[in-house]
Amino acid sequence: MDYTKLGKRIREERLRLNLTQEKLSEEVGISTAYLGQIERGERSVTLDKLISLANYLGVTVDFLLADYISSDEDLNLSRLTQLFHGKSATEKEMAVNMVKLLFAYTDGKFSGDTEIENKK
């Protein structure tokens, strides 16, 4: 297995959270050198450390492994889950409504009367 894509995702999430390698490695109990090797795809990562990394980064393991999942549907659901992470219920509802409108438009069913949920 090529670990380059996994390492790249870990690095992207670490940077998204403005974390240094030092901080993340300290939090998950690995050396900075080992984290660097993981991020470059030079070393494999144990399942327990992968779970620790995912938990600390606030993502799912399947998100980190998305490039190795064969189903496009699983990958898309994983991407959506990641996008929803850390968002409020209102923001999530707005996103769902936007997707509904987009699908209604692309299906040719959009009109000014297209129904969206409006919970207050």
CATH number of residue 44's parent domain:
1.10.260.40
Q: Which residue has the tokens 């990958």?
A: 75
Report if residue 35 sits inside a domain. Answer: yes
pTM: 0.62
Report if residue 86 sits inside a domain. Answer: no
Percent of the chain with pLDDT over 90: 52
Cα separation, 26 vs 66, in Å, equals: 25
Report if residue 109 sits inside a domain. Answer: no
Report if residue 74 sits inside a domain. Answer: no
pLDDT at 111: 61
Give the type of residue at 93. Answer: E
67 against 92, higher pLDDT: 92
The number of beta carbons lying within 10 Å of the beta carbon of residue 63 is: 20
Cα separation, 120 vs 81, in Å, equals: 24
Of 10, 7, 5, the C-alpha closest to 58 is 10
Beta carbons within 8 Å of 5's beta carbon, 6+ residues apart: 41, 67, 68
Q: What is the mean pLDDT of residues 70-88?
A: 77
User: What total of structural domains would you count in the chain?
Assistant: 1
Cα separation, 11 vs 38, in Å, equals: 9
Q: Is the pLDDT of residue 120 over 60?
A: no
Report if residue 114 sits inside a domain. Answer: no
Report if residue 79 sits inside a domain. Answer: no
pLDDT at 53: 97
Helix residue spans in 1-120 (DSSP H): 4-16, 21-28, 32-39, 47-57, 61-64, 72-84, 89-106
Structural domain containing residue 26: 4-68
Report if residue 81 sits inside a domain. Answer: no
The number of beta carbons lying within 10 Å of the beta carbon of residue 8 is: 15
